[in-house]
Amino acid sequence: MFESPRAYHLAVSRVLYHDQMRRILLLFSIVLLAQAAEPDHVERLLAELSEAYGPIGFEGPVRAIMRRELTPYVARFETDGLGSLIAVAPASDAAAPRVMLAAHMDELSLLVKHITPEGFVKFLPVGGWLDLALVNQRFVILTRKGPVTGLCALKTPHIMSSEERSRIPRRDSLFIDVGATSRQDAEERLGIRPGDPIAPQSRFEKLNGGNLYLGKAWDDRAGLAVIVEVMRRLKQAPAPCSVYAVATAQEEVGVRGAKTASYLVKPDIGINLEGGVAADHPGITADEAQERIGGGPGMFLHDSFMLPNVKLRDFILDTAKARGIPVQFEILSGYGEDGAEMQRAYGGAPSINLTVPTRYMHNHNGIISRADFDRTVELVTEVIRRMDSATVKRLKTFD
């Protein structure tokens, strides 16, 4: 077999060497895999923003995240009288154009209306809820004593007639069970008061190892995360314009914070980030909505509140083409967005609504694509980097 003991030793050490190498390679791949599974800063931010509670008019927790995230990239903060956060990154030239970048902090929510003598919480839905989306879901009541978890109850089918089983319960018949024994228990022990805001509770999840994210409130937390990422990139290579990054309040009840914030910012150009309506699942047609997940950022060409400025639309499309970013279009009638208030503030400003396409908006859970998110960040960053005085003047000029 072996010609000499030396040959034998050589063969054995070769085997041992290969074995050692295999172990090192295995260890190396485990480390790589672990790193791949580890969420990056964008995923962590999206998770935190999605899970944060930001009921309409009570956007404090989301505002705190935005203030923390934007602090390294801006010179100062202001707030409007409704609680919108305005983060300012001024250009070195005081005469540079003012670009307002907005997304809203609030999410569909409820308000405590009254508590029954038995301790069940009756509520008022605020914003565009489906009755169907309310039942048998977990909610959190934000009280002066802290968060209180509750379940929007649904009667068991065991005691329903067949007709009742296929009927959707009306919203005024619904209530939240917080496990209180009486009204007094709910008020005194749990601290629940009429007018307390109630937020949906839903956990963020990376969907089955792909690049889709499952969570609540992508409308419009994805937009807020786009703003953070855009401002981070602009800090590395500043834009030729002053950028006002605005996290607006109370969008879901008629773009209220965008109105008050626009009056403080007085924008020359308005770019709003929103959730787009992804129409790529069963039960929806292209006549109803046109975006799809993974197809790139969306651009609203019509909604019930505004038409975008045509020159701004074309400028963004040219920028996207130059960067190889696909853009999808959205033409809807039943939707209104913050861009409308930027467009109408003072003498009016060329404005547009761009989107991160979102499946199942205005429900407890929705889905977005990380690829769409990244492309939206790239597009918005590039558009802002091109917003010099001459470009803005051209966009604002008619005839």
Catalytic residues: 251
Give whichever of 219 and 229 is closer to Zn ion, judged by the CB atom: 219
Residue 94 CB, nearest approach to Zn ion (Å): 33
Check residue 291 for interaction with Zn ion (CB under 5 A): no
CA separation for the pair 317, 56 (Å, rounded): 33
* Nearest residue (CB) to Zn ion, 220 versus 330: 220
Residues 195 and 111: beta-carbon distance below 8 Å: yes
CB of 251 to Zn ion, least distance (A): 6
Shortest spacing between CB 107 and Zn ion, in angstroms: 9
Helices (H), 237-358: 256-265, 310-323, 339-344
- Identify which range of 211-219, 227-235, 263-271, 342-350 contacts Zn ion by CB under 5 A: 211-219
DSSP 233-271: HHHHS--SSEEEEEEES--TTTSHHHHHHHHHH--SEEE
Choosing from 80, 196, 219, 330, the residue that interacts with Zn ion (CB under 5 A) is 219
Q: Return the structure tokens found at 352.
A: 């547009």
372 touches Zn ion by CB under 5 A: no
Considering only 57-65, 164-172, 189-197, 217-225, which stretch makes contact with Zn ion by CB under 5 A?
A: 217-225
**Nearer residue to Zn ion within complex by CB, 80 or 338:** 338
Count CB-CB contacts under 10 A for residue 330.
23
Q: Among residues 47 and 277, whose Cβ is nearest to Zn ion?
A: 277
Our finding on whether 220 is near Zn ion (CB under 5 A) is: yes
Residue closer to Zn ion, measured from CB, 50 or 242: 50
In the complex, the smallest distance separating the C-beta of residue 274 from Zn ion, rounded to whole angstroms, is 5
Supply the angle between the helices 370-385 and 218-236 in degrees, to the nearest 10.
50
Integer Cα distance of 268 and 351 in angstroms:
9
Q: 382: how many CB neighbours lie within 10 A of its CB? A: 17
Q: Is the dihedral of CA 131, 120, 177, 114 positive or negative?
A: positive
CB distance 153 to 176 below 8 Å? yes
Candidate segments 60-68, 215-223, 371-379, 380-388, binder of Zn ion by CB under 5 A:
215-223
Q: Which two tokens stand for residue 171?
A: 């919203």
Closest distance between Zn ion and the C-beta of residue 202, in Å? 16
Name the segment binding Zn ion (CB under 5 A); options: 130-138, 212-220, 373-381, 387-395.
212-220
Closest separation in Å from C-beta 103 to Zn ion: 8
Which value, in Å, is the radius of gyration of the alpha carbons in the chain?
A: 26
Q: Smallest gap, in angstroms, from Cβ of residue 335 to Zn ion? A: 8
46 or 392: CB nearest Zn ion:
46
Shortest distance, position 104 Cβ to Zn ion, whole Å: 6
Residue 185 burial (10 A CB sphere; 0-12, 13-18, 19+): middle
Structure tokens at 256: 């209220």
Comparing CB distances to Zn ion, the nearer of 194 and 254 is: 254
From residue 268, give the alpha-carbon distance in Å to each of 13, 92, 230, 235. Answer: 73, 17, 19, 21
> Taking CB under 5 A as the rule, which mask of x and - marks residues 11-30 in contact with Zn ion?
--------------------
Total residues at interface with Zn ion (CB under 5 A): 2
Of 240 and 297, which has the nearer Cβ to Zn ion? Answer: 297
Q: Segment near Zn ion (CB under 5 A), from 47-55, 214-222, 230-238, 308-316?
A: 214-222
CA–CA gap between residue 85 and residue 70 (Å, rounded): 10
Plot region of 348 (φ>0 → left; ψ -120 to 50 → alpha; else → beta): left
Question: Where are any strands of DSSP class E within 22-174?
Answer: 76-79, 85-89, 98-104, 109-115, 121-126, 138-143, 146-152
Tokens of 304: 């019930």
Catalog residues that contact Zn ion under the rule CB under 5 A: 219-220
